[in-house]
Structure 1
């Protein structure tokens, strides 16, 4: 119990850590901050995306399609690392909005190819603009050097977590690109 008290005291000495941390989170003040920041970032992104007619997460699916071109739905599910039923629902909504098209794969009629439509080109521009707004909102008050430092630190944190989960398609893709 002494180690818990000592760690809790150290966390309270850190100005980045709130004194209002729940008892169970006092040994993980940075993890608590990361969780809170991720939640708030998702809420802010959701507000920006709502104006585009998108739900949070759909932009990642579209980003993949814009970059990769037509892909099998099974590959898309792996790339965005979401539950297949979630991706199917996202695709249904995006298809109804005219942003994606699904068709049988000519190489394997059992597989389905998914691709962005020409109509989604305008959406691409709006998503880029929204992500720029989100970036500025998120990093307001940070100097250019602090922004670079934060990006480096978050990349290291991401790599640590990917090592633990052994399942990070984004990191594997970046490493493959060099």
Structure 2
């Protein structure tokens, strides 16, 4: 069982990672034409495929108006397309276009290069252990949240 002191250290370490990540992200996104939220949305659509705006909002735990604002620049840039939902004509389905795939691949390649440069002295096993730990942490936090929501 985790002690309170270790939990507090973990929280501090996560906050430091988030702060560092935001600083790097701010610098990196100065060269992007899209805000970070729009790129995160593009990435989610790319990974999970076509879906309704409302489902995206629920998955990201934000108001649908937030998703609408993030989708607008993606649609204007031709990176996402919207079509009527055949099951419900009032709703629309969002999907990544070929241009969106290319944009996202280039973006992800730049980020992967940045991370690889930052972790150049890490052994592959250390990175894999961190990935496993972060996935476990995410799943455990999600489970607690779902328990609290029910």
TM range (shorter): 0.7 to 0.9
Report the CA distance between 1:122 and its aligned residue: 2.0
- Counterpart CA distance in 2 for 1:122 and 1:66 is 11
Q: How does 1:136-175 map to 2 (within 5 A)?
A: 136-166=116-146
In 1, are the aligned partners of 2:80 and 2:96 still within 8 Å (CA)? yes
In 2, are the aligned partners of 1:95 and 1:101 still within 8 Å (CA)? yes
The 3-state SS of whatever aligns with 1:53 is coil
Size of the alignment, in residue pairs? 144
- Counterpart CA distance in 1 for 2:30 and 2:96 is 19
Is residue 83 of structure 2 the alignment partner of residue 103 of structure 1?
yes
Is residue 14 of structure 2 the alignment partner of residue 34 of structure 1?
yes
Matched with 1:83 is 63
Aligned in 2, Cα 1:142/1:124: closer, same or farther, shift over 3 Å? Answer: same
Aligned alpha-carbon RMSD (Å): 2.4
In 1, are the aligned partners of 2:53 and 2:64 still within 8 Å (CA)? no
Is residue 136 of structure 2 the alignment partner of residue 127 of structure 1?
no
In 2, are the aligned partners of 1:73 and 1:112 still within 8 Å (CA)? yes
Matched with 1:118 is 98
Query: What are the Cα deviations for residues 33-87 of structure 1, in whole angstroms up to 9, with x where unaligned?
Result: 2012112213323433442312223222112222333211112222333332221
- Counterpart CA distance in 1 for 2:118 and 2:63 is 28
- Counterpart CA distance in 1 for 2:40 and 2:84 is 23
Specify every segment of 5 or more residues in structure 2 that has no aligned partner in the other structure, as ranges: none
Normalising by the residue count of structure 1, what TM-score does the alignment of the two structures yield? 0.69
- Counterpart CA distance in 2 for 1:51 and 1:140 is 23
Matched with 1:171 is none
Report the CA distance between 1:147 and its aligned residue: 1.0
In 1, are the aligned partners of 2:38 and 2:73 still within 8 Å (CA)? no
